[in-house]
Amino acid sequence: MSHRPSLFKKISLVKKLFHLLVNCPRWQKSLILYFADSIVFFLATYLALIISSQTLLSFSIVQKHTVYIIPFICAKLFLFTSLGLYRGIVKYTEFGFLYTASKSIFLGQGLLIFISFILPIKITNLLPILPISVQVIDGLITLILVIKIRLIARWLLYSYKSPLKLTQPDQTNIIYQPKSRQTVIIYGAGQAGFQLYQALHQDNLFQVVAFTDDNEQLWKHLINGIQVYSPQKLEYLINRYQVTLVLLAIPSTTPQRKQQILTQLQNLGLEVKTVPTLAEIISGKVSIAQVRKIDICDILGREEVLPDKDLLALNITGKSVLVTGAGGSIGAELCRQIAQQQPRHLVLYELNEFALYSIEIELRETYPDLSCVACLGSVSDYERIKQVINKYEVETIYHAAAYKHVPLVESNPVQGVINNIYGTLVTVKTANECKVDTFVLISTDKAVRPTNIMGATKRVAELILQGLSKEKDTHTRLMMVRFGNVLNSTGSVVPRFQKQIANRQPITITHPDIIRYFMSIPEAARLVIQAGALGKGGEVFLLDMGEPIRIYDLAVQMVELSGLVIGKDIEIQITGLRPGEKLYEELLIEDGNAQKTIHPKIYAAKEAMIPWNKLESYLDQLFLAANSQDIDSLLSILKIIVPEYLGVRVVIADRRPGDPACVTADAQKIKQVLNWQPKHEDLDEIIASTIDWEKSRPT
């Protein structure tokens, strides 16, 4: 027992020493290799002498041959250095190193044997020459020991920093499967880059000609015989090797740095693809080999904050949760996130049969132990939604059901009011009647100073929750979460651009200066769940959307990173703003009114509301107008409930690019965001100017 403390100290000391060796600079590791190889050369020569003479050597013989061995070692070290053996990264030692090492050793041995024959006799008397048989044995032993040292070092390094475990790639999921061998550069000379190289090398689909990396310590080193270059050498490498594709193997880099790299590659006129993110690899869903096209998340450079596990679980774990609009983009992702938190029941409520079927099948396959039930129904159907809530004893509701496409709701205002406003009213009142604990409304930035009917209906839905939350008989915690565009949602701009690029069709943009906020669907869903856990009732939560993106710039990046040239391979067409479409979106009705919460990406806003008794009267009139299909009255009432909404429907027949099609609610905001000075700011002046312009047009 008394020896244990000293033993533990020794083990601890060894661990610390090993830690220092692993993490020391690369030049120090090279010096260690020089030293190790020098010892190997000594041992190899003496072992060769022992094997050749078949007896142990006396001290005098050892002393005699040491004079010869020292220059021999120097010659070997010089050859190893010249041929790049000390530029190789030990952790990534493979068969390429075996070839280089063999070549170096046998060249060295051959050179020394050659010198043995041509040196004058006087010199050979001073410098004893070993027999050729000894030199051949020496070369073989040297090769074995040099390789053995590197394999041991590689094993130790991998033991210290375990590599990512790769699953066998599912060939049906690999997006990129070229028909012929393609010349590529791998951007990233770390663990992911090496594993990607291995996967590509095995499949024989690509010819990797170079690595490039931001880490200066890796420059000029070799990975399996392939050199690592500075990113500044990319253009030279592309021209030299006729490279057509760059593969990004930097899954753990920051989104901001990835965006900078993509911007650099964008101007080089070649295709760029990437490996999955670190989170995707660790999850086991994909492997390094599954390179994919650059998507919008890569371009945006948005850094996500790790979710708060307690907030994610608070309203879900062990509870019965209902999601309306479960088949939509946000609704489906909410279901996926909720399923991970182990709810008692997950109730999918959806009107669209196919959408409901799709998400139900996906959840059952992914989470076989999940208690999941699919319910067809409309949010406007009081009896149906009450039956579902009571049957499954629902405790938390995420209300994602809504019509969201601006042009469709603009041309179908009655349906927009019934689904977005009446549906919300029915669902929230039923939830309160059935004593549901928490109700979270999924809102939109289009509800802020709306210029379209869809935005106005979502603002009214917010006002309903705000009004009811102040009523004494409201027991349910009511809150709403407002955010901007989500990436890759159905009908959104990104999938449309991707389809147009794939088909080489012109990319259509409504206005060259239109800007939007973007967020990935999974991030939005996680933040919605966390915001719902923060609320006490009546809050409007805003999600930090980052910086707005100019849609035109987004289209240009997507085209160029696909290896295409604008104006040559594909065109960008400006079609003109659609009715009700804004040049920009906002999240706050009153600027400067957002307050921080405990979550860095979630803010709470205190906004003006309408007392429930007054709002209820307006809603009665609104639903009466909707039921009678009286669109003019419907728009007038919307204007009363939401004063920021202009309620003006401007329709210009045969509208061309450049024709006026949209009246903006806040000219001052336009000037700030776009640095643009409007000719007229007053609504009457804008309409009068438009009429004069129409009259002046040749008929």
Closest CA to 402 of 383, 424, 429: 424
| CA dist., res. 484 & res. 479, Å (int) | 17
Three-state SS annotation for 165-218: CCCCCCCCCCCCCCCCCEEEEEECCCHHHHHHHHHHHHHCCEEEEEEECCCHHH
| CA dist., res. 224 & res. 186, Å (int) | 13
Residue 248 β-bridge partners? 187, 274
| CA dist., res. 634 & res. 647, Å (int) | 9
Closest CA to 79 of 53, 50, 110: 110
Q: In this structure, what are the phi and psi dihedrals at residue 568, rounded to the nearest 5 degrees? A: -115, -55
**How many Cα atoms within 13 Å fall on the side-chain side of residue 666?**
21
| CA dist., res. 194 & res. 288, Å (int) | 10
Closest CA to 557 of 256, 237, 297, 252: 297
- 309 Cβ contact list (under 8 Å, min separation 6): none
Q: Are 554 and 547 in contact (CB under 8 A)?
A: no
Out of 76, 91, 404, 446, which one is annotated catalytic?
446
Q: Which two tokens stand for residue 164?
A: 């990512």
Which of helix, strand or coil describes residue 628?
coil
345-350 and 206-212: which strand pairing? unpaired
| CA dist., res. 21 & res. 309, Å (int) | 37
Q: Are 528 and 481 in contact (CB under 8 A)?
A: yes
**Secondary structure element (H or E) that encloses residue 29, with its range:** helix 26-53
Closest CA to 576 of 633, 527, 512: 512
Q: In this structure, what are the phi and psi dihedrals at residue 525, rounded to the nearest 5 degrees? A: -65, -45
Q: Are 596 and 687 in contact (CB under 8 A)?
A: no
The CA-based angle 304-306-311, given to 5 degrees, is: 120
| CA dist., res. 466 & res. 464, Å (int) | 5
The CA-based angle 442-445-450, given to 5 degrees, is: 115
Which of helix, strand or coil describes residue 330?
helix
Q: Are 34 and 86 in contact (CB under 8 A)?
A: yes
| CA dist., res. 603 & res. 594, Å (int) | 6
Buried b (16+ CB within 10 A) or exposed e, 601-622: bbbbbebebbebeebeebbeeb
Known catalytic residue: 91?
no
Distance of CA 657 to the CA centre of its chain: 35
Neighbours of 536 (CB within 10 A): 9
Three-state SS annotation for 472-521: CCCCCEEEEEECCEECCCCCCHHHHHHHHHHCCCCEEECCCCCEECEECH
Q: Enumerate the active-site residues.
A: 446
